[in-house]
Structure formats: C-alpha cells, structure tokens
Amino acid sequence: MKFVHIADIHFDSPFVNLSDRENLGDMKRLEQRKIFKKVIEYIKENTIDFLFIAGDLYEQQYIRKSTIEYMNALFKEIPNTKIYISPGNHDPNIKNSYYNQFEWNENVHIFGPEMEKISLQTVDIYGYGFDDFYCTSCGIEDVELQDRTKTNILVIHSTIDGANLEEKQYNSIPRKVLEEKGFDYVATGHIHKLDYHTYENQHIVYPGSLISLGFDELGEHGMIVGEIKENKQLTTEFIPLSENNFEEIEFDITECISKDELIEKINDLIIPENSLVKIILIGKRNFEIDRYEIYKFVTNEKIIKIRDHTKIQYDLENIANTHTLKGLFVKEILKEKQTASEEELEIIEKAVEIAFEALE
C-alpha cells in the first residue's frame, strides 16, 4: 500500500501579525491552495492508495465554504484514493463544522470522537477526531489490534509525550503506549515540525505543517510519502513542497551612523530566492529606530518583517558626570534604572534616545 501523509494545513488562517506587509495573509492563503493542489497532483501521478490528513485541515473560526468546496473538488479528482481525516483542535468535528454540515465526496471518511476501525481487505485503519477545541483522552489505551496479519494504521491528531499542562490538553499520548499497540504506521499531526527519521525504524511520524505558517516554523515544509509492503516493511520519504520558506537574518547596525545608511544596507542584502525574511536588528544604535518608518523604504518584497533588538550606544555613566542639561537628565535616568524591570528599561532607553535628539 502506498500513502501520502499530511497535517496542519490550517486553511483560511488569518495570519495575524505575520508581516508588516498588508497583503501577505492573502498571499499565504493562495499558497495553501496551490500546495494542496500539488499534493493531489502527486497522488494522481503516482497511483497513491491512501491520503491521511492528521488534523487541523482548516481553521474552524475562519473557514469559508468556498475553501471547503475547493478541497472537495480536488478530492473528486482522486476517486480511487481513500481519504481519511482526523479532525484536530483547530478543526474539531463539532455540530456546526463543515465536517457535519457539508456533503463530502464518497472517498472521504472523517473520524469522530470515538476510536473507530475501518476494515479493508488487507488494511485496518484506526482513527479518532477531536469533537472540541481540547482533548485530554482519545481512548487509545483501550485499543487492541484485531488482526495483526493485516497492515494496521492509526490516523490521529496528538501530542506525543506531552509533558506540560498545555500539551496534555491536545490529546497527549505516551510514545511507549503507541509502540506497545503495534501499529505499522501512526499518521499524526499537531506538531508543525517534521519528525520522521529521528530514530531507527520510525513509524510514528509528524509530517509538520504543509506550508510554513510563521517565523517559528523555519525551513522546508511538505508531505510524507510512504509505502508498506506485504512483509510490513515501511519506507518513508519527505517531499518538500512549500515555495516560500521563512528565514531570519540578524543585521548588526553598530557601524551605521544614520537611518538612511541603514535603509540602504538593508536594501542591499542578498535574500535567498524562495525565502520570506525577518530582519533582526542587533548591535549598538547611534540614532532612534522606528522600524515601521524604516520598513516604508524597504524595496525588497521578500523582507516582510523587521525587529529591533539593538541597544543604545550612549555611555550614560560618562554623560552623567558632565555639567550639562544632558548630564542632569541622565543622572535622574540612572536612578530610575536601578529599580526598573526589563520592560521598563527598554522604555527608559527609548526615552533617553528621544531626549538626546531633542537636546541636540
């Protein structure tokens, strides 16, 4: 049997605060469609028996019917491929969800909140779907494989070995429990980082998010393609699909003496062709930085966010010893810094910067 395993597409995600560019959310939603279509084209071209979608296919709060119709139309293009969906915490199988309110193509099966087994000729497929935005138990402990001569698959949205309280709210399952059950392949989702070759004979697999959804998901994203032969030998391969990967670039501005010079150097940066970049400004600054003002003059469209992690350049101790208006001001500032929190220190530094420019 040949299969494709994907998860965490998050169709119609709003991509809030992802970028300083206004239209990036629309671009990423179009990319979701394009990459999902690539998955379907691969299935058509390679005669894939099963498509496993391990949760968070869409965003319940934002999903549009037109997007559901788009997905279903693509599912109709692969009628000989059986599609199994395990709803997750972002697309739970609740009463008013499209999982319940839409007529899906006949090759689509959506798992509900009771562990279910689909028995086919040579394969048994088990699955479970969230029916709420949280899940503390899916009942995996009670599952016993009924026919070990068949290939046994589990499709589930879960946190493997969830350690803290938050992780345990998203269907935390001990890896040891899954290993003891004896599934030939566990198609899971929820963790957006690829995990498929971290140990020998790995068969509990996270494909990661289908496309990168933000700067906490750096690097390549795509799908898992697998095959389980009659002797139950498993082979898996990760196929990257995303066209625009998120990257972070640190830029030291210590030698820059003006805003104009900084903008010029940012525009001269060489950005990898398929990257969307966050510029992180570091070092000592010699002038006030308004990253939104700087961003207005950035011409490279692949730079979508700027963050300021710089520190003030001034030697406040020396300035405080001068008999000037600046010196008197800094003496008071240094008193405030002694008891200030980290957040307050940033405000104080910005206040010094603005005051010094006013006193020039």
Quote the CA–CA distance of 66 and 343 in Å, as a whole number. 44
Quote the CA–CA distance of 336 and 51 in Å, as a whole number. 61
pLDDT score of 279: 93
Same domain, 271 and 167: no
Same domain, 60 and 100: yes
- Rounded mean pLDDT of 300-306? 87
Same domain, 268 and 337: yes
Whether 108 has a pLDDT exceeding 80, the answer reads: yes
Whether 360 has a pLDDT exceeding 70, the answer reads: no
Number of domains in the chain: 2
Same domain, 300 and 227: no
Same domain, 193 and 57: yes
Confidence of residue 113 (pLDDT cuts 50, 70, 90): very high
For 296, the token pair is: 């207005």
CATH code for the domain in which residue 153 is found: 3.60.21.10
Whether 91 has a pLDDT exceeding 90, the answer reads: yes
Same domain, 75 and 161: yes
Provide the Cα torsion 26, 30, 33, 37; round to 10°: -170
- Rounded mean pLDDT of 306-321? 80
Cβ-in-10-Å burial (0-12, 13-18, 19+) of 309 comes to exposed
Q: What is the DSSP letter of 344?
A: H
- Rounded mean pLDDT of 156-185? 91
Distances in Å between the alpha carbon of 73 and those of 30, 130, 237?
16, 24, 27
Same domain, 221 and 294: no
Range of the domain at 323: 245-359
Among 203, 225, 240, give the residue marking a domain's end. 240
Distances in Å between the alpha carbon of 203 and those of 102, 195, 273?
33, 10, 34
Same domain, 37 and 126: yes
Most confident by average pLDDT, 97-106, 192-201, 266-275, 323-332: 97-106
User: pTM for this structure?
Assistant: 0.81
pLDDT top residue among 311 and 134: 134
Same domain, 129 and 170: yes
Three-state SS at 310: coil
Among 217, 240, 263, give the residue marking a domain's end. 240
Same domain, 50 and 140: yes
Same domain, 285 and 220: no
| Helices of type H across the chain | 24-46, 65-76, 98-101, 165-168, 175-181, 259-267, 291-295, 316-320, 325-337, 342-359
Whether 21 has a pLDDT exceeding 70, the answer reads: no
Residues with Cβ within 8 Å of 116's Cβ and at least 6 positions away in sequence, in order, are 126, 127, 128
Estimate to the nearest angstrom the gap between the alpha carbon of 293 and the chain centroid.
28
pLDDT score of 163: 77
Whether 359 has a pLDDT exceeding 70, the answer reads: no
Whether 314 has a pLDDT exceeding 80, the answer reads: no
Confidence of residue 214 (pLDDT cuts 50, 70, 90): confident
Among 192, 211, 240, give the residue marking a domain's end. 240
Most confident by average pLDDT, 21-30, 122-131, 323-332: 122-131
pLDDT score of 237: 96
Cα atoms found within 13 Å of the Cα of residue 270, Cβ hemisphere only: 0
